[in-house]
Structure 1
């Protein structure tokens, strides 16, 4: 994510201002961090147990595929939905939950048989199938629902979830929550699945989403259904739908990856920015390895929302977004999208790296001396700047320091372990965890294995505490010259 206020550290789901950090330790023998990942949630649990958002997601099953079908009328703002969720049980399920905000459910089926259901809490849909789903069995849940979708919450960067465009269209965007504003889901980044969307809208409107587009189906009733298929597993918060009177450009990257870029009315002037996308992806691929998504492009809305977001393969860009944000959001296709956080405490794995990608771009394309830039940042950093942590920063603080202090910490790490080891980290980490999930403690161990040295003091100073690192960690390698 990239927020609108911190331009020099543009981030994907952007935080208001970057303020996080870690204090230094005078002793290298620091106890390694404990992962914040609890044991797997019990079957039927109403959350997976992420310490920050314990009611997100649900226990007892692993989703393998979503097939979301919606009809949306921009005039009435009413949505009718019919979603099929294919999953595998991880325990015997005499009942289980899905997450869904606000919309009224009319019917639920499990493997074709009617199931009973009730709503509890803020977003729980509790389902009791006609027969217990056995451990390790595959099963399909169908949910039919309708209503006027709402935002899921207001975060530090603004509204999340379903949002209405100036044109009268609509789009879904938000982190950590947005998907459940328009379809039922196991709403946790730990449960990634393939995603298919069929979206029916009145003629004159069109729909853009994740993955690869299929030819639309034009009905005889004045409505057209648009089809999108994302074959690469995706976290729910990275899914999107945009309904508008889009201007759409189509092309392919070298190697045949399809590029679909959509511009809302009034956002057509962003074509010049998006024209740099092949160059951006080629550059990022040279740093991080082959592009890991099934498709590429961008969704340019004509709205000044507080963030842009790395929706998988096709980021959503606010009206203020320029080239640095395109670099940032596409870096997330590696750091955040193909390798997804295990828990929200691990968010530096997403935002620190996407923010540092902007530094790498400036170094390569603009000739910026990053050591000089780093020293300038240190010289003007306040106590407030240093006052947050980059790992396990606490619920509500995820999108803060990672944008400003985060890239500085990674540049210091680069100088601490040297370019050769750092380059290996940038390429080998996304390859090792491609299409999966990972935690920050795993990353620290990975870097130490690559570098062949104990970095516990360095990581404690930069990522685990909330004051300025002591000099040996603040000015490692060439930064001390």
Structure 2
């Protein structure tokens, strides 16, 4: 018998094993990460989430959360399996398209789902995950805490960069944004505040249920839930935009004046950066020890204690830069923080404070901070190339990122610069972008200018440039 006569049947068996005998190609497993430069296991490959429907029941005394996540997604390839990010929590069941699916846990936060039937590329599908447990607090590489943070009267959920996986399963990377419906049940007498708009509140049998809706795309790291005692206030701006604030009773007196300036800030920001991209605004003010930092949670930023005017401006302007125009990866964080920091400079410049030029010069000279270590930290690394995940929230990402924007302003002049600010926000509204997208956009807006030195020395260069 010729040698090839034996090989042909073996090859045929291999093809059948791959699922081609029935005329189709068997699906593959989606990736367990999107290969982010700093968080390679965050997010998941093979699908795109379009909507999260979260039903949460929280008991603060026991610190127990019972959750049901309905995830609507679209397959980006033929899938036989896919992953969701979920840290801790006990998974009770998983369904895909109404059918019970197999699942297993691996690593620190990987939930692998194997649907009964393969998912076809381009097809929409729905996953329902039921889970429960005591949500974990996540410690970032820089030592800060996020995830589900117990408070004296409830809990606070914060997600940057990876904490959202502590309280709901999902595709937790900034590159996959989705609409949200978040329904939270808590003991009667407590409030549950989240993103978007409150569609209804019902109370029955000693429990209150709050139903929040987010219609615009949102990255999971800016999703939030705040459970506790709050003083709630709702008003409207002149154009009808709802302003909703939730303030811990201990912080009301200290917060009243600054939060009263939200409409003023929003009107100024609209003139400076373009139309507001979301359907409501506001703030959540917790007690000072409930969180170690402020965060630009979508629609209403979270603050640990009453914020100063500069911090309030910073987090509200993040709604344009960070929440609407979202970084493609964590390496591009300067696009979020540099813009929000420069907004603080512009606010001060327009309201009787130091000009952006004066702030830039003080930073360059090392005279902006009282401590030399703080001044030197500005030059620790280039904003476009943080050295590690632990450094993506360090000073160069903020201050030196803002200095990059000021160098662009110096080069193109105020009129073109403000066109860039507004145009960048409009071009990538509700989308994602990276640093290459931004540099290409700037060069297109000012084709007669040479930006190569700015990119080389200020965006990607090590140390302090030779001249300001």
* Cα distance in 2, alignment partners of residues 360 and 327 from structure 1: 10
1:399 equivalent in structure 2: 393
Q: Specify every segment of 5 or more residues in structure 1 that has no aligned partner in the other structure, as ranges.
A: 1-41, 475-481
Match status 1:433 vs 2:428: yes
8 Å contact from structure 1 (residues 329, 354) kept in 2: yes
1:226 paired residue among 210, 213, 220: 210
Match status 1:70 vs 2:66: no
2:7 equivalent in structure 1: none
After TM superposition, the score normalised by the length of structure 2 is: 0.89
1:389 equivalent in structure 2: 382
> CA 1:196/1:378 → structure 2, altered by over 3 Å: closer, same or farther?
same
* Cα distance in 2, alignment partners of residues 413 and 157 from structure 1: 33
2:464 equivalent in structure 1: 468
Q: How many angstroms does 1:155 deviate by? A: 4.4
* Cα distance in 2, alignment partners of residues 132 and 58 from structure 1: 17
Cα offsets for 1:230-278 (capped at 9, x unmatched): 0000000010001011110001122222111001231212122110000
* Cα distance in 2, alignment partners of residues 157 and 287 from structure 1: 35
SS in structure 2 at match of 1:217: strand
8 Å contact from structure 2 (residues 159, 223) kept in 1: no
Q: How many angstroms does 1:323 deviate by? A: 1.4
Match status 1:122 vs 2:115: no
8 Å contact from structure 2 (residues 285, 306) kept in 1: no
Q: How many angstroms does 1:215 deviate by? A: 1.7
* Cα distance in 2, alignment partners of residues 118 and 143 from structure 1: 12
Written as runs of structure 1 = structure 2, the 5 A alignment for 1:156-167 is 156=142, 158-166=144-152
SS in structure 1 at match of 2:250: coil
1:308 paired residue among 294, 299, 324: 294
Match status 1:95 vs 2:90: no
Q: Which has the higher contact order (CA 8 A, sep 6+)?
A: 1
2:452 paired residue among 456, 473, 478: 456
1:186 paired residue among 171, 192, 195: 171
1:200 equivalent in structure 2: 185
* Cα distance in 1, alignment partners of residues 41 and 338 from structure 2: 26
SS in structure 2 at match of 1:408: helix
* Cα distance in 2, alignment partners of residues 464 and 424 from structure 1: 24
* Cα distance in 2, alignment partners of residues 277 and 431 from structure 1: 22
8 Å contact from structure 1 (residues 149, 181) kept in 2: yes
Cα offsets for 1:71-91 (capped at 9, x unmatched): 001111100000100000011
SS in structure 1 at match of 2:296: coil
Q: How many angstroms does 1:368 deviate by? A: 2.3
SS in structure 1 at match of 2:419: helix
Match status 1:361 vs 2:322: no
* Cα distance in 1, alignment partners of residues 52 and 329 from structure 2: 22
Cα offsets for 1:402-432 (capped at 9, x unmatched): 2222222322221122111111110000100
* Cα distance in 1, alignment partners of residues 459 and 39 from structure 2: 21
Cα offsets for 1:26-81 (capped at 9, x unmatched): xxxxxxxxxxxxxxxx8511001111111101011110000000100111110000
8 Å contact from structure 2 (residues 251, 306) kept in 1: no
Written as runs of structure 1 = structure 2, the 5 A alignment for 1:3-22 is none
After alignment, is 251-260 or 271-280 more displaced? 251-260
Cα offsets for 1:413-454 (capped at 9, x unmatched): 211221111111100001000010000111011111111222
Match status 1:267 vs 2:251: yes
8 Å contact from structure 1 (residues 157, 306) kept in 2: no
Cα offsets for 1:144-180 (capped at 9, x unmatched): 00001111224426211110113x2101013112211
After alignment, is 385-394 or 52-61 more displaced? 385-394
Q: How many angstroms does 1:384 deviate by? A: 4.1
After TM superposition, the score normalised by the length of structure 1 is: 0.87
8 Å contact from structure 2 (residues 404, 454) kept in 1: no
Q: How many angstroms does 1:181 deviate by? A: 1.1
* Cα distance in 2, alignment partners of residues 366 and 402 from structure 1: 26
* Cα distance in 1, alignment partners of residues 190 and 198 from structure 2: 16
SS in structure 1 at match of 2:79: coil
2:269 equivalent in structure 1: 284
* Cα distance in 2, alignment partners of residues 462 and 43 from structure 1: 41
8 Å contact from structure 1 (residues 409, 462) kept in 2: yes
8 Å contact from structure 1 (residues 157, 307) kept in 2: no
> CA 1:146/1:276 → structure 2, altered by over 3 Å: closer, same or farther?
same
Larger radius of gyration, structure 1 or 2? 2
Q: Specify every segment of 5 or more residues in structure 2 that has no aligned partner in the other structure, as ranges.
A: 1-27, 368-374
8 Å contact from structure 1 (residues 210, 314) kept in 2: yes
Aligned length: 429
